[in-house]
């Protein structure tokens, strides 16, 4: 698996911003990515050392707009804890 394709995007939310203060970064990742794949991708792309990876799968949800109905796509979120002394500079919108 290519490292660039494992990480879809960095999550920039209020909770993710608070977690960065304790060295935890959140990413949206591919559905099929394993914890080891995520760890290797973050280490290679950002040149840091990863201490722990936690993942959560969010299922699709039904949505309605007027008479039409559809589904909101599901995604997988990874919370990556970095070792002490390592930091990632994230820029919103990039």
Domains of the chain: 3-82 (3.30.70.330)
* pTM of the predicted model as reported, rounded to 2 decimal places: 0.87
Secondary structure E strands in the chain: 7-10, 24-29, 50-58, 61-65, 68-72, 75-82
pLDDT in tens, 22-76: 999 999 999 999 999 999 999 999 999 999 999 999 999 999 999 999 999 999 9
- With a cut of 60, say whether residue 12 has pLDDT above it: yes
**Cβ atoms 58, 76 nearer than 8 A:** yes
- With a cut of 80, say whether residue 1 has pLDDT above it: no
């Amino acid at each position: 698996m290519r490292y660039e394709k494992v990480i879809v995007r960095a999550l920039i939310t209020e909770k993710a911003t608070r977690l960065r203060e304790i060295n935890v970064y959140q990413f949206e990742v591919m559905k099929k990515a394993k914890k080891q794949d995520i760890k290797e991708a973050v280490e290679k792309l950002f040149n840091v050392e990863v201490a722990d990876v936690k993942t959560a799968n969010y299922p699709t949800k039904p949505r309605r707009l007027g008479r039409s109905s559809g589904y909101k796509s599901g995604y997988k979120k990874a919370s990556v804890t970095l070792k002490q002394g390592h930091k990632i500079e994230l820029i919103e919108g990039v």
